[in-house]
Amino acid sequence: MNSYLEIDKQNLLHNISQFRTILPVNTAIAAVVKSNAYGHGLESVATAIQSKVDWFCVVNLNEALTLRRIKIKKPILVLSYYFEKIDLAIKNNISLVVYDISQAKNISAQAKKIKKIAKIHFKVDTGTSRLGIGETEALKLIKQIIKLPNVKIEGIFSHFAASEENQKYTDWQLEKFNALIKKLDKEKITIPIKHFACSAAAMVRTDSAFNMIRLGIGLYGLWPSKQAKKITRKIHPRFSLKPVLTWKTKVIAIKSLPGGTCVGYGCTFKSRKKTKIAVLPVGYYEGYDRHLSNKGEVLINGRRCPVRGRICMNLCIIDITNVKNVKVGDEATLIGDKITADSLAEKIGTINYEVVTRINPLLPRTLK
């Protein structure tokens, strides 16, 4: 392949160790490897870190079954949805999220059928207004679930809406979750695992860690937001993250253009003088965002080379006029070194999560 990703195992392990230093003692880390490990490669990332984390979190059952297929033995939680193969989840010791009674009854029936105990994590909506049951109804529903045969409520959790930037709202969500935990304690209902904190909350709100955190974007060496980075640096001056992903490609063609020559679809760029260009086998199909047209930069021989014209489906064109001795086959860095996921996100008006997650999963990922 002419376009490929390198995944730095040592940086993955560094990031995990950094979170270990700031978490309360005995707090478990659940590595969030959903959506192809945020674009980094589900199988390679999970294999690389399985001895250093306590749990894995995925978005759906297919991802969970993939982890079991590659011999991941750590506990796995499906965070969001599943529609079929519930019996396979139970047989493979995969924990499932529950946020309504019909799910719980279905799981109970499937578990009873195969004579197994199904493990579930009850999701509470404390203010994200997404998945989960409201905390005012949660106690009633939990009481119903614990009466169902062959089901064990192993965990209870919620999700922050703005832990990176809105501490008042975060306080409000935490208060609601803690109030529910107190109600459960009063009713003598014990749920062993409690988790709420994402990467940002784990950095800036130790009181949200409970006994497990869900480590997502921080695992990959990316900051959840500028605000989270600023606060973390004040609270934990020695805390650092190292980006894990480098995206590279190779020059497939070189041309010299006279001044006044249009480049690419729509003629959105016209050379003002004699210009040397290189063509790269990367476009929006590969995940190099079209909004980087005439904005993006890549590195060749350590020099920044601007994108000229529109990003195509499978190709892009860069200006190599100021770089000496470029030849076909030379390496070009799309993300890595001086070009970060954050810098690309700023150029196209999005977040670093989207930049890395949208890299085509068919591109090879190599663990270094």
Cβ atoms of 366 and 5 closer than 8 Å: yes
Cβ atoms of 80 and 57 closer than 8 Å: no
Name the active-site residue from 34, 123, 176, 248: 34
* Cα–Cα distance, 131 to 159 (Å, whole number): 9
CA end-to-end span of the chain = 17
Two structure tokens written together for 214:
């869900």
* Cα–Cα distance, 253 to 328 (Å, whole number): 6
Helix (H, G, I), strand (E, B) or coil at 100: coil
| Residue type, position 58, single letter | V
| Residue type, position 122, single letter | F
Name the active-site residue from 140, 143, 226, 265: 265
Two structure tokens written together for 238:
């020695």
Q: Is 91 part of the annotated catalytic residue set?
A: no
* Cα–Cα distance, 284 to 183 (Å, whole number): 50
Q: Is 285 part of the annotated catalytic residue set?
A: no
* DSSP H helices in 39-187: 42-49, 61-69, 86-91, 101-113, 135-145, 167-186
Helix (H, G, I), strand (E, B) or coil at 99: coil
* Cα–Cα distance, 186 to 74 (Å, whole number): 32
Can you give the C-alpha Rg of the chain in angstroms? 24
Of 25, 34, 169, 57, the closest CA to residue 123 belongs to 57
- Which letter does DSSP use for residue 24 in this model? P
Active-site residues, by number, are: 34, 265
